Amino acid sequence: MEAIPYLAALSAIAGLLLAGYYYTAVKQASPGNDRMVFLMTEIQKGARAFLQAEYKWVGVFAAGMAILLALVIAPLAAITYLLGAVLSAGAGYAGMTVATMANARTTEAAKEGPAKALPIAFRGGAVMGFSVAGLALLGLMLTYLVFVTWFEVDQAFEIVTAYGLGASTIALFSRVGGGIYTKAADVGADLVGKVEAGIPEDDPRNPATIADNVGDNVGDVAGMGADLFESYAGSIIAPISLIAFAGAVTAEQAGDVDILPFFVFPMFVAFIGMLASIIGSFLVKGGDSTDSSALSKALHMGTNVAMGITVVGVFAGSFWIFGGDSFTEDKPWGLAVSVIGGLIAGWALGKTAEYYTSDHFNPVKTIAQQAETGPATTVLKGISIGMVSVAASVVLILLGIGIAYWGGQQTLGDETTLGGLYGIAVAAIGMLATTGVVVSVDAYGPIADNAGGIAEMAELDPSVRDVTDALDSLGNTTAAVAKGFAVGSAALTALALFKSFEFA
């Protein structure tokens, strides 16, 4: 059981090696003609310029926060805070760099159909996915091993928690700053192009088109990646800090036979999820059809298989970790139910988002029908369906919390609320266990969107744009799916962290 943090760290390294493999695979693909290479380069320049400007301001804020943490908590907390911030920023920068490299290559591959284009776009996104999951897990495991296991320092768990705060800092700036830039560029390009000049979207005559494509990357690749980096790290930290602060556990006590299982179980879930994501990523294959349903099935094959593997692994692991513990009341499966409940709730949130945002289902079709009567009815219908869609998500999150709470009490007993709260905390990591492949699918979207823009600006054959439009349509849905995971897991993690703060 003591080996679990090391196994989790090794799985994180494996994820990073896979990201390197996918980077090489994308780089070897042809970027197309000179015009396509020029457009790709301009998008890269814009995205890098934005991130460099953003990170300068983040650096100032992070430096101030680090000084504050050093004074209020401990100097070592400032170090882990900066580590979390640097790794999150590094994952975002690396993923965005590859995403802006994969766009033209996806366009070039689209000349041969979706069977060639979809895997390239997915591999470009997978670099971001496994960079996020790998760096988040590796940094956290090293932090835990150094300060809790090896050196047993004072305030060790406060120092570990600071790692998540560093990741949150980057998520705040990347998500909000990147999101504002994304929408400003998108709406600005549409206003000057479609409304004022009456030219199509991504027309090469519109100078704002490059800014629009840059925005797709800084908001939906770097921004979402930082968001899920923070959620993923926080979901592992939450159950550890809950037990540590509720029981006033010190680093010297963390290895006790009655306490260690509570600390290593979320790490085990992350370990299984990483391995499952690696396996699932190899199952994403493109087909010859541009039908949205067929493309969605091909893209989500990896996610579904990864979740299935995670369910089996977590169930087996719960018996291994809690089967011999004196506090289990002979029900080690309870925490497996909590984790699997979170995983299924996350999957259901994704399916709900897909139902309300995919052009294959009725909500989007009814919005499209309203467009026949004018923009006012279209906007009203879109807003109303968006509001209705929230109800299902709220119900799913509440069900996930209820199942997780019940599962925790089955394993840890119902004398106090701690068992149920721990169940909720591990449900969050269950929801994000397959972060590697979830972020890969999400980052695919901006790459496909950029590929369509490059096809239009390079004035390629309309058949190429047909393929990229089909890929882009699917990408809009995958972005909504990832947001469902991010919001759902954040709700569970926040609840656990609030209780940890109360105990601290």
pLDDT in tens, 162-209: 999 999 999 999 989 998 999 898 888 888 887 777 787 777 778 788
Q: How many CB atoms lie within 10 A of CB 63?
A: 13
Q: pLDDT of 412-447, one tens digit each? A: 887 778 899 999 999 999 999 999 999 999 899 899
pLDDT confidence tier of residue 326, bands split at 50, 70 and 90: low
Please give the Cα distance from 313 to 486 (Å, whole number): 23
Mean pLDDT across 374-384 = 93
Does pLDDT of 325 surpass 70? Answer: no
For the record, the structure tokens of 126 come out as 């997978």
**Token pair 């930082």 is at which residue?**
226
Does pLDDT of 67 surpass 80? Answer: yes
Please give the Cα distance from 192 to 199 (Å, whole number): 9
Please give the Cα distance from 258 to 322 (Å, whole number): 10
320: left (phi over 0), alpha (psi -120 to 50) or beta: alpha
For 221-288, the DSSP string reads IIIHHHHHHHHHHHHHHHHHHHHHHHTT--GGGTTSTTTHHHHHHHHHHHHHHHHHHHHHHTT----S
CB 149, CB 254: distance < 8 Å: yes
Does pLDDT of 329 surpass 80? Answer: no
Mean pLDDT across 59-63 = 97
Q: pLDDT of 201-236, one tens digit each? A: 777 778 788 989 999 899 889 998 999 999 999 999
For the record, the structure tokens of 279 come out as 């396996």
Does pLDDT of 387 surpass 90? Answer: yes
∠ CA 121-94-430, rounded to 5°: 75
Torsions phi, psi of 373, nearest 5? -100, -5
Mean pLDDT across 392-401 = 94
For the record, the structure tokens of 407 come out as 């599962």
**Mean of all residue pLDDT scores within the chain:** 91
Please give the Cα distance from 128 to 55 (Å, whole number): 18
- Torsion sign, CA atoms 234, 236, 238, 241: negative
Please give the Cα distance from 229 to 70 (Å, whole number): 23
**Token pair 């060639």 is at which residue?**
116
Q: How many CB atoms lie within 10 A of CB 282?
A: 11
CA 133, 138, 144, 149: dihedral to nearest 10 degrees?
Answer: 140
Output the pLDDT for position 144.
98
Output the pLDDT for position 200.
77
Does pLDDT of 502 surpass 90? Answer: no
Please give the Cα distance from 393 to 485 (Å, whole number): 10
Closest CA to 447 of 180, 91, 129, 52: 129
Does pLDDT of 48 surpass 80? Answer: yes
Q: pLDDT of 75-109, one tens digit each? A: 999 999 999 999 999 999 999 999 999 999 999 99
Does pLDDT of 242 surpass 90? Answer: yes
Does pLDDT of 6 surpass 80? Answer: yes
Please give the Cα distance from 283 to 375 (Å, whole number): 41
pLDDT confidence tier of residue 241, bands split at 50, 70 and 90: very high
Output the pLDDT for position 57.
94
CB 280, CB 305: distance < 8 Å: yes
pLDDT confidence tier of residue 327, bands split at 50, 70 and 90: low
3-state helix, strand, coil in the chain (%, to 5): 85, 0, 15
CB 112, CB 460: distance < 8 Å: no
Closest CA to 202 of 320, 103, 130: 103
> What is the length of the chain?
504
Output the pLDDT for position 330.
66
- pTM to 2 decimal places: 0.94
For the record, the structure tokens of 295 come out as 């493309």
